[in-house]
Chains A and B, each alone.
Chain A
Amino acid sequence: MAATVVTRGKVSGLENKDFERLAIPLLDGLYNFARWLCSDPDEARDLVQETFLKSLKGFSSFREGTNFKAWMFRILRNTFLTSRTGLERRNTQQEDEEGFEESSVSQETPEIALIRRADTELVQAAIAQLAPAFQEVILLADLEEMKYQEIAEALAIPMGTVMSRLARARKQVREHIVLTLGGKRTVGVK
Protein backbone atom coordinates (compact mmCIF):
# COMPACT_ATOMS: atom_id res chain seq x y z
CA MET A 1 0.00 0.00 0.00
CA ALA A 2 1.35 3.40 -0.91
CA ALA A 3 2.23 5.33 2.19
CA THR A 4 0.50 8.61 2.73
CA VAL A 5 2.31 10.54 5.39
CA VAL A 6 0.46 13.49 6.71
CA THR A 7 0.90 14.76 10.21
CA ARG A 8 -2.12 15.68 12.20
CA GLY A 9 -1.16 19.30 11.93
CA LYS A 10 -1.14 19.14 8.18
CA VAL A 11 -4.64 17.82 8.16
CA SER A 12 -6.17 20.08 10.71
CA GLY A 13 -4.07 23.19 10.79
CA LEU A 14 -0.38 23.09 9.99
CA GLU A 15 -1.14 26.01 7.71
CA ASN A 16 -2.92 27.67 10.60
CA LYS A 17 0.06 27.09 12.83
CA ASP A 18 2.38 28.58 10.26
CA PHE A 19 0.06 31.49 9.93
CA GLU A 20 -0.08 31.98 13.66
CA ARG A 21 3.70 31.87 13.92
CA LEU A 22 4.08 34.53 11.25
CA ALA A 23 1.10 36.71 12.03
CA ILE A 24 0.98 37.02 15.80
CA PRO A 25 4.24 38.99 16.03
CA LEU A 26 2.69 41.53 13.66
CA LEU A 27 -0.43 42.05 15.74
CA ASP A 28 0.85 44.97 17.75
CA GLY A 29 2.13 46.79 14.68
CA LEU A 30 -1.11 46.10 12.82
CA TYR A 31 -3.15 47.38 15.72
CA ASN A 32 -1.05 50.50 16.00
CA PHE A 33 -1.43 51.09 12.27
CA ALA A 34 -5.15 50.44 12.51
CA ARG A 35 -5.49 52.93 15.34
CA TRP A 36 -3.75 55.58 13.29
CA LEU A 37 -6.11 54.86 10.42
CA CYS A 38 -9.32 54.57 12.41
CA SER A 39 -8.81 56.71 15.49
CA ASP A 40 -11.55 54.76 17.20
CA PRO A 41 -10.18 51.90 19.34
CA ASP A 42 -13.17 49.62 18.77
CA GLU A 43 -13.02 50.13 15.05
CA ALA A 44 -9.29 49.46 15.08
CA ARG A 45 -9.86 46.31 17.06
CA ASP A 46 -12.51 45.08 14.62
CA LEU A 47 -10.25 45.96 11.75
CA VAL A 48 -7.41 43.89 13.16
CA GLN A 49 -9.68 40.95 13.85
CA GLU A 50 -11.15 41.10 10.38
CA THR A 51 -7.67 41.36 8.93
CA PHE A 52 -6.61 38.21 10.73
CA LEU A 53 -9.74 36.39 9.63
CA LYS A 54 -9.32 37.39 6.01
CA SER A 55 -5.64 36.65 5.91
CA LEU A 56 -6.14 33.29 7.59
CA LYS A 57 -8.73 32.40 5.00
CA GLY A 58 -6.49 33.58 2.22
CA PHE A 59 -3.33 32.06 3.66
CA SER A 60 -3.55 29.01 1.43
CA SER A 61 -3.24 31.32 -1.55
CA PHE A 62 -0.33 33.19 0.00
CA ARG A 63 2.62 32.69 -2.32
CA GLU A 64 5.93 31.78 -0.87
CA GLY A 65 8.41 34.53 -1.56
CA THR A 66 5.81 37.23 -1.07
CA ASN A 67 6.53 39.53 1.82
CA PHE A 68 4.20 38.37 4.56
CA LYS A 69 4.31 41.59 6.52
CA ALA A 70 3.48 43.66 3.44
CA TRP A 71 0.71 41.18 2.64
CA MET A 72 -0.85 41.53 6.10
CA PHE A 73 -0.66 45.31 6.06
CA ARG A 74 -2.17 45.30 2.62
CA ILE A 75 -5.12 43.23 3.81
CA LEU A 76 -5.59 45.50 6.77
CA ARG A 77 -5.49 48.58 4.62
CA ASN A 78 -7.83 47.14 2.00
CA THR A 79 -10.23 46.15 4.73
CA PHE A 80 -10.02 49.63 6.14
CA LEU A 81 -10.59 51.25 2.75
CA THR A 82 -13.79 49.29 2.23
CA SER A 83 -15.10 50.29 5.66
CA ARG A 84 -17.28 53.34 6.05
CA THR A 85 -14.51 55.37 7.65
CA GLY A 86 -12.16 54.19 4.97
CA LEU A 87 -14.42 55.31 2.17
CA GLU A 88 -14.76 58.73 3.77
CA ARG A 89 -11.03 58.97 4.19
CA ARG A 90 -10.39 57.87 0.64
CA ASN A 91 -12.08 60.99 -0.66
CA THR A 92 -10.00 63.13 1.62
CA GLN A 93 -6.91 61.36 0.45
CA GLN A 94 -7.64 62.10 -3.18
CA GLU A 95 -8.24 65.75 -2.43
CA ASP A 96 -5.05 66.00 -0.49
CA GLU A 97 -3.02 64.49 -3.25
CA GLU A 98 -4.20 67.05 -5.70
CA GLY A 99 -2.09 70.12 -5.86
CA PHE A 100 0.93 68.32 -4.52
CA GLU A 101 4.03 70.24 -5.31
CA GLU A 102 7.43 68.82 -4.81
CA SER A 103 9.63 71.17 -2.93
CA SER A 104 13.05 70.90 -1.56
CA VAL A 105 13.80 70.46 2.07
CA SER A 106 15.54 73.18 3.92
CA GLN A 107 19.05 72.53 5.04
CA GLU A 108 18.91 74.96 7.91
CA THR A 109 20.57 73.33 10.82
CA PRO A 110 18.49 75.08 13.53
CA GLU A 111 15.57 73.00 12.30
CA ILE A 112 17.41 69.82 13.06
CA ALA A 113 17.70 71.06 16.60
CA LEU A 114 13.98 71.81 16.67
CA ILE A 115 13.12 68.33 15.40
CA ARG A 116 15.32 66.85 18.09
CA ARG A 117 13.59 68.98 20.70
CA ALA A 118 10.16 67.89 19.61
CA ASP A 119 8.48 65.75 22.18
CA THR A 120 6.50 62.64 21.33
CA GLU A 121 3.18 64.40 21.68
CA LEU A 122 4.13 67.05 19.18
CA VAL A 123 5.36 64.52 16.64
CA GLN A 124 2.19 62.50 17.14
CA ALA A 125 0.17 65.62 16.45
CA ALA A 126 2.27 66.19 13.35
CA ILE A 127 1.58 62.67 12.13
CA ALA A 128 -2.09 62.94 13.02
CA GLN A 129 -2.54 66.05 10.87
CA LEU A 130 -1.25 64.24 7.79
CA ALA A 131 -3.66 63.08 5.16
CA PRO A 132 -4.16 59.31 5.46
CA ALA A 133 -2.23 58.66 2.24
CA PHE A 134 0.84 60.30 3.73
CA GLN A 135 0.27 59.06 7.22
CA GLU A 136 0.29 55.41 6.20
CA VAL A 137 3.42 55.77 4.08
CA ILE A 138 5.44 57.47 6.79
CA LEU A 139 4.30 54.97 9.42
CA LEU A 140 5.18 52.00 7.27
CA ALA A 141 8.55 53.48 6.35
CA ASP A 142 9.74 54.92 9.63
CA LEU A 143 7.88 52.90 12.22
CA GLU A 144 7.49 49.54 10.55
CA GLU A 145 10.81 50.07 8.77
CA MET A 146 9.46 48.62 5.56
CA LYS A 147 11.35 49.02 2.32
CA TYR A 148 9.82 51.12 -0.45
CA GLN A 149 9.04 47.99 -2.39
CA GLU A 150 7.23 46.45 0.58
CA ILE A 151 5.26 49.64 1.12
CA ALA A 152 4.35 49.67 -2.55
CA GLU A 153 3.08 46.09 -2.17
CA ALA A 154 1.23 46.83 1.04
CA LEU A 155 -0.50 49.90 -0.35
CA ALA A 156 -0.80 48.68 -3.93
CA ILE A 157 0.78 51.82 -5.30
CA PRO A 158 3.82 52.35 -7.52
CA MET A 159 7.16 52.79 -5.86
CA GLY A 160 7.46 56.29 -7.27
CA THR A 161 4.27 57.20 -5.45
CA VAL A 162 5.67 55.77 -2.24
CA MET A 163 8.71 57.99 -2.59
CA SER A 164 6.79 61.15 -3.39
CA ARG A 165 4.25 60.59 -0.62
CA LEU A 166 7.00 59.86 1.84
CA ALA A 167 8.84 63.04 0.91
CA ARG A 168 5.64 65.00 1.25
CA ALA A 169 4.73 63.40 4.55
CA ARG A 170 8.13 64.11 6.02
CA LYS A 171 8.03 67.65 4.82
CA GLN A 172 4.67 68.21 6.49
CA VAL A 173 5.74 66.60 9.74
CA ARG A 174 8.87 68.67 9.74
CA GLU A 175 6.96 71.85 9.03
CA HIS A 176 4.47 71.14 11.78
CA ILE A 177 7.25 70.64 14.29
CA VAL A 178 9.28 73.62 13.21
CA LEU A 179 6.28 75.92 13.04
CA THR A 180 5.10 74.87 16.47
CA LEU A 181 8.45 75.14 18.14
CA GLY A 182 9.98 77.86 16.05
CA GLY A 183 7.08 80.27 15.86
CA LYS A 184 5.66 81.58 12.66
CA ARG A 185 8.89 81.64 10.82
CA THR A 186 8.71 80.35 7.26
CA VAL A 187 10.28 76.99 6.90
CA GLY A 188 11.29 74.49 4.35
CA VAL A 189 10.33 75.98 1.04
CA LYS A 190 12.84 78.07 -0.65
Chain B
Amino acid sequence: MTNCEWREKIGLYVDGELEPRDEQAVAGHLPSCTDCASAVLEQQALKKAVRVAGKRFTAPPDLYASVQKQMQPKKTTGLWLKVSALAASAALLAAIAFAWIARPSTSNATVSQLIDQHVIMLASVNPVDVVSSDKHTVKPWFQGKLPFTFNPPELATGSPFALVGGKLVYSQHAPGAELVYQVRQHKISVFIFQARDVHGEPSAGNQTFVVNGWQQGGLQYYIVTDASREDADRLRTLLEDANRS
Protein backbone atom coordinates (compact mmCIF):
# COMPACT_ATOMS: atom_id res chain seq x y z
CA MET B 1 0.00 0.00 0.00
CA THR B 2 1.35 3.34 -0.91
CA ASN B 3 1.68 6.23 1.48
CA CYS B 4 1.32 8.76 -1.25
CA GLU B 5 -0.71 11.70 -0.01
CA TRP B 6 -2.65 11.87 -3.28
CA ARG B 7 -3.67 8.24 -3.34
CA GLU B 8 -6.98 8.85 -1.62
CA LYS B 9 -7.85 11.59 -4.10
CA ILE B 10 -7.56 9.35 -7.14
CA GLY B 11 -11.24 8.38 -7.12
CA LEU B 12 -12.25 12.03 -7.00
CA TYR B 13 -9.74 12.84 -9.71
CA VAL B 14 -11.11 10.21 -12.09
CA ASP B 15 -14.67 11.29 -11.34
CA GLY B 16 -13.82 14.92 -12.03
CA GLU B 17 -14.80 15.91 -8.52
CA LEU B 18 -11.64 17.69 -7.49
CA GLU B 19 -11.27 21.44 -7.30
CA PRO B 20 -9.31 22.73 -10.29
CA ARG B 21 -6.27 23.42 -8.16
CA ASP B 22 -6.18 19.90 -6.72
CA GLU B 23 -6.91 18.44 -10.10
CA GLN B 24 -3.87 20.17 -11.54
CA ALA B 25 -1.80 19.01 -8.61
CA VAL B 26 -2.80 15.37 -9.11
CA ALA B 27 -2.20 15.62 -12.83
CA GLY B 28 1.25 16.99 -12.10
CA HIS B 29 1.92 14.23 -9.60
CA LEU B 30 0.95 11.27 -11.78
CA PRO B 31 4.02 11.14 -14.04
CA SER B 32 6.23 10.72 -11.01
CA CYS B 33 4.09 8.16 -9.11
CA THR B 34 3.56 4.74 -10.62
CA ASP B 35 1.11 3.68 -7.93
CA CYS B 36 -1.20 6.62 -8.45
CA ALA B 37 -0.90 6.37 -12.22
CA SER B 38 -1.90 2.70 -12.05
CA ALA B 39 -4.80 3.53 -9.79
CA VAL B 40 -6.02 6.16 -12.24
CA LEU B 41 -5.80 3.73 -15.13
CA GLU B 42 -7.64 1.10 -13.19
CA GLN B 43 -10.41 3.45 -12.13
CA GLN B 44 -10.79 4.69 -15.67
CA ALA B 45 -10.95 1.14 -16.99
CA LEU B 46 -13.50 0.23 -14.37
CA LYS B 47 -15.64 3.28 -15.06
CA LYS B 48 -15.60 2.55 -18.74
CA ALA B 49 -16.51 -1.10 -18.17
CA VAL B 50 -19.43 -0.14 -15.91
CA ARG B 51 -20.61 2.52 -18.34
CA VAL B 52 -20.73 0.00 -21.18
CA ALA B 53 -22.17 -2.86 -19.18
CA GLY B 54 -24.55 -0.70 -17.15
CA LYS B 55 -26.46 0.29 -20.25
CA ARG B 56 -28.11 -3.04 -20.31
CA PHE B 57 -31.76 -2.28 -20.88
CA THR B 58 -33.52 -0.15 -23.43
CA ALA B 59 -36.97 1.23 -22.84
CA PRO B 60 -39.48 -0.53 -25.09
CA PRO B 61 -40.86 1.77 -27.79
CA ASP B 62 -44.41 1.41 -26.52
CA LEU B 63 -43.31 2.73 -23.13
CA TYR B 64 -42.45 6.01 -24.81
CA ALA B 65 -45.92 6.07 -26.30
CA SER B 66 -47.56 5.24 -22.97
CA VAL B 67 -45.61 7.87 -21.10
CA GLN B 68 -46.24 10.52 -23.71
CA LYS B 69 -49.91 9.67 -23.68
CA GLN B 70 -50.14 10.05 -19.94
CA MET B 71 -48.43 13.44 -20.22
CA GLN B 72 -51.13 14.82 -22.47
CA PRO B 73 -53.44 17.23 -20.65
CA LYS B 74 -56.29 15.14 -19.42
CA LYS B 75 -59.90 15.84 -20.05
CA THR B 76 -60.40 16.51 -16.40
CA THR B 77 -63.71 15.97 -14.79
CA GLY B 78 -63.62 19.10 -12.72
CA LEU B 79 -66.73 21.05 -11.93
CA TRP B 80 -65.98 23.63 -14.58
CA LEU B 81 -65.69 20.98 -17.23
CA LYS B 82 -68.82 19.26 -16.11
CA VAL B 83 -70.65 22.53 -16.39
CA SER B 84 -69.02 23.15 -19.75
CA ALA B 85 -69.97 19.73 -20.96
CA LEU B 86 -73.53 20.28 -19.85
CA ALA B 87 -73.60 23.67 -21.54
CA ALA B 88 -72.05 22.20 -24.64
CA SER B 89 -74.61 19.44 -24.77
CA ALA B 90 -77.39 21.97 -24.42
CA ALA B 91 -75.78 24.16 -27.05
CA LEU B 92 -75.31 21.22 -29.38
CA LEU B 93 -78.96 20.29 -29.06
CA ALA B 94 -79.86 23.90 -29.62
CA ALA B 95 -77.61 24.04 -32.66
CA ILE B 96 -79.21 20.94 -34.12
CA ALA B 97 -82.61 22.43 -33.44
CA PHE B 98 -81.49 25.69 -34.98
CA ALA B 99 -80.11 23.98 -38.05
CA TRP B 100 -83.41 22.21 -38.52
CA ILE B 101 -85.46 25.35 -37.96
CA ALA B 102 -83.20 27.60 -39.97
CA ARG B 103 -82.91 25.29 -42.94
CA PRO B 104 -85.98 26.57 -44.80
CA SER B 105 -84.94 30.22 -44.40
CA THR B 106 -81.20 29.86 -44.98
CA SER B 107 -79.51 26.98 -46.64
CA ASN B 108 -76.17 28.60 -46.36
CA ALA B 109 -73.75 25.76 -45.59
CA THR B 110 -71.17 28.23 -44.35
CA VAL B 111 -73.49 29.49 -41.66
CA SER B 112 -74.18 25.95 -40.52
CA GLN B 113 -70.48 25.28 -40.36
CA LEU B 114 -69.88 28.41 -38.37
CA ILE B 115 -72.59 27.59 -35.90
CA ASP B 116 -70.98 24.19 -35.49
CA GLN B 117 -67.66 25.90 -35.00
CA HIS B 118 -69.17 28.21 -32.39
CA VAL B 119 -70.65 25.24 -30.53
CA ILE B 120 -67.33 23.42 -30.67
CA MET B 121 -65.69 26.49 -29.23
CA LEU B 122 -68.22 26.57 -26.40
CA ALA B 123 -67.59 22.94 -25.62
CA SER B 124 -63.86 23.01 -25.97
CA VAL B 125 -61.44 22.80 -23.09
CA ASN B 126 -59.23 25.13 -25.11
CA PRO B 127 -61.76 27.42 -26.76
CA VAL B 128 -59.07 29.63 -28.25
CA ASP B 129 -55.49 29.21 -29.41
CA VAL B 130 -54.34 32.59 -28.19
CA VAL B 131 -55.80 33.78 -24.95
CA SER B 132 -55.64 37.49 -24.54
CA SER B 133 -57.83 40.43 -23.70
CA ASP B 134 -55.49 42.63 -25.69
CA LYS B 135 -56.20 43.09 -29.37
CA HIS B 136 -52.54 43.99 -29.87
CA THR B 137 -51.69 40.46 -28.87
CA VAL B 138 -54.44 38.69 -30.73
CA LYS B 139 -54.03 40.45 -34.05
CA PRO B 140 -50.29 39.78 -34.41
CA TRP B 141 -50.90 36.16 -33.47
CA PHE B 142 -52.73 35.69 -36.77
CA GLN B 143 -49.89 37.16 -38.80
CA GLY B 144 -48.45 34.54 -41.10
CA LYS B 145 -51.41 32.29 -40.43
CA LEU B 146 -53.92 34.18 -42.56
CA PRO B 147 -53.59 35.68 -46.02
CA PHE B 148 -55.33 38.85 -44.83
CA THR B 149 -55.43 41.16 -41.87
CA PHE B 150 -58.14 42.83 -39.86
CA ASN B 151 -58.56 45.11 -36.90
CA PRO B 152 -60.24 43.93 -33.75
CA PRO B 153 -62.08 46.91 -32.24
CA GLU B 154 -60.59 48.91 -29.41
CA LEU B 155 -62.85 48.22 -26.48
CA ALA B 156 -63.42 51.23 -24.29
CA THR B 157 -63.28 50.98 -20.53
CA GLY B 158 -66.70 49.94 -19.36
CA SER B 159 -67.52 48.18 -22.61
CA PRO B 160 -69.78 45.18 -22.05
CA PHE B 161 -67.58 43.26 -24.47
CA ALA B 162 -64.34 41.62 -23.53
CA LEU B 163 -61.98 39.94 -25.92
CA VAL B 164 -61.30 36.37 -24.83
CA GLY B 165 -58.88 35.41 -27.58
CA GLY B 166 -58.71 33.97 -31.02
CA LYS B 167 -58.13 30.83 -32.98
CA LEU B 168 -57.54 29.71 -36.51
CA VAL B 169 -60.52 28.12 -38.26
CA TYR B 170 -61.27 26.76 -41.69
CA SER B 171 -64.40 27.07 -43.72
CA GLN B 172 -64.77 25.70 -47.22
CA HIS B 173 -61.03 24.97 -47.24
CA ALA B 174 -60.17 28.59 -46.53
CA PRO B 175 -58.43 29.74 -43.37
CA GLY B 176 -60.08 32.32 -41.22
CA ALA B 177 -59.97 33.93 -37.84
CA GLU B 178 -62.34 33.28 -35.01
CA LEU B 179 -62.34 36.02 -32.40
CA VAL B 180 -64.13 35.16 -29.23
CA TYR B 181 -65.75 37.85 -27.16
CA GLN B 182 -67.57 37.67 -23.91
CA VAL B 183 -70.63 39.73 -23.19
CA ARG B 184 -72.03 39.11 -19.75
CA GLN B 185 -72.45 35.32 -19.59
CA HIS B 186 -72.49 34.83 -23.34
CA LYS B 187 -69.78 34.08 -25.81
CA ILE B 188 -69.71 35.65 -29.23
CA SER B 189 -67.75 34.22 -32.12
CA VAL B 190 -66.66 36.59 -34.82
CA PHE B 191 -65.52 34.74 -37.92
CA ILE B 192 -63.47 36.54 -40.51
CA PHE B 193 -62.63 35.10 -43.91
CA GLN B 194 -61.59 36.40 -47.25
CA ALA B 195 -64.77 37.35 -49.06
CA ARG B 196 -65.85 34.97 -51.80
CA ASP B 197 -68.54 35.24 -54.37
CA VAL B 198 -70.61 32.60 -52.71
CA HIS B 199 -70.75 34.42 -49.44
CA GLY B 200 -73.67 36.66 -49.12
CA GLU B 201 -74.79 38.49 -46.08
CA PRO B 202 -76.71 35.92 -44.18
CA SER B 203 -78.44 37.13 -41.17
CA ALA B 204 -80.43 34.65 -39.22
CA GLY B 205 -81.65 34.14 -35.75
CA ASN B 206 -83.91 32.20 -33.56
CA GLN B 207 -84.30 31.72 -29.87
CA THR B 208 -80.82 30.25 -29.57
CA PHE B 209 -78.30 31.72 -31.97
CA VAL B 210 -77.94 34.98 -33.75
CA VAL B 211 -75.95 34.94 -36.96
CA ASN B 212 -74.94 38.28 -38.35
CA GLY B 213 -72.89 38.43 -41.54
CA TRP B 214 -71.53 41.22 -43.68
CA GLN B 215 -68.76 42.00 -46.11
CA GLN B 216 -66.33 44.82 -45.66
CA GLY B 217 -62.97 45.64 -47.22
CA GLY B 218 -62.82 42.36 -49.11
CA LEU B 219 -63.45 40.34 -46.00
CA GLN B 220 -66.42 38.31 -44.95
CA TYR B 221 -67.45 38.68 -41.31
CA TYR B 222 -69.87 36.54 -39.36
CA ILE B 223 -71.01 36.93 -35.81
CA VAL B 224 -72.44 33.84 -34.19
CA THR B 225 -73.70 34.06 -30.65
CA ASP B 226 -76.33 33.07 -28.22
CA ALA B 227 -76.28 36.62 -26.87
CA SER B 228 -78.99 39.02 -28.00
CA ARG B 229 -79.33 40.41 -31.50
CA GLU B 230 -78.67 43.85 -30.03
CA ASP B 231 -75.36 42.66 -28.62
CA ALA B 232 -74.45 41.17 -31.98
CA ASP B 233 -75.38 44.40 -33.76
CA ARG B 234 -73.39 46.48 -31.30
CA LEU B 235 -70.30 44.33 -31.73
CA ARG B 236 -70.78 44.45 -35.50
CA THR B 237 -70.77 48.24 -35.35
CA LEU B 238 -67.55 48.20 -33.34
CA LEU B 239 -65.92 45.86 -35.84
CA GLU B 240 -67.12 47.87 -38.80
CA ASP B 241 -65.77 51.05 -37.29
CA ALA B 242 -62.44 49.44 -36.49
CA ASN B 243 -62.02 48.18 -40.05
CA ARG B 244 -63.23 51.24 -41.90
CA SER B 245 -60.45 52.48 -44.14
Question: Residues of A at under 8 Å CB distance from B?
Answer: 1-8, 10-13, 16, 19-20, 23-24, 27-28, 30-32, 35-36, 41, 44-45, 48-49, 52-53, 56, 104-105, 107-109, 111-112, 115-116, 118, 120-124, 126-127, 138-139, 141-143, 145, 147-148, 163, 166-167, 170, 173-174, 177, 190
Contact = CB atoms under 8 A, between A and B. Distances in A.
A94 B64 CA distance: 34
Given A105-B43, A123-B49, 12 more contacts: A1-B133, A8-B129, A10-B131, A24-B64, A27-B59, A32-B59, A45-B60, A121-B53, A139-B50, A142-B46, A142-B47, A147-B17
B50 A143 contact: yes
Contact of A107 (B39, B52, B56, B159): B39
A45 B73 CA distance: 21
B169 to A, nearest CB: 14
A124 B136 CA distance: 60
A20 B65 CA distance: 12
B42 interface: yes
B54 A139 contact: yes
A28 B59 contact: yes
Contacts of A115: 42, 45-46, 49
A150 to B, nearest CB: 11
Given A3-B137, A8-B130, A107 B58 contact: no
A107 B35 contact: yes
Contacts of B53: 120-124, 126-127
Contacts of B17: 147-148
A23 B63 CA distance: 13
Contact of B52 (A12, A104, A120, A174): A120
Contacts of B159: 1
A12 B157 CA distance: 29
Nearest to B11: A167
B54 A11 contact: no
A184 B227 CA distance: 89
Interface in B14-54: 15-17, 34-35, 38-39, 41-43, 45-47, 49-54
Nearest to A128: B56
18 contacts: A3-B134, A24-B68, A32-B55, A32-B56, A45-B60, A49-B66, A105-B39, A105-B42, A107-B38, A112-B41, A122-B53, A139-B54, A142-B47, A142-B54, A143-B54, A170-B43, A173-B49, A174-B46
Contacts of A138: 50, 54
B58 A4 contact: no
Nearest to A177: B49
A1 to B, nearest CB: 6
Given A127-B50, A143-B50, A31 B57 contact: yes
Contact of A49 (B35, B58, B63): B63
B133 to A, nearest CB: 5
Contacts of A123: 49-50, 52-53
Contact of A35 (B7, B57, B66, B125): B57
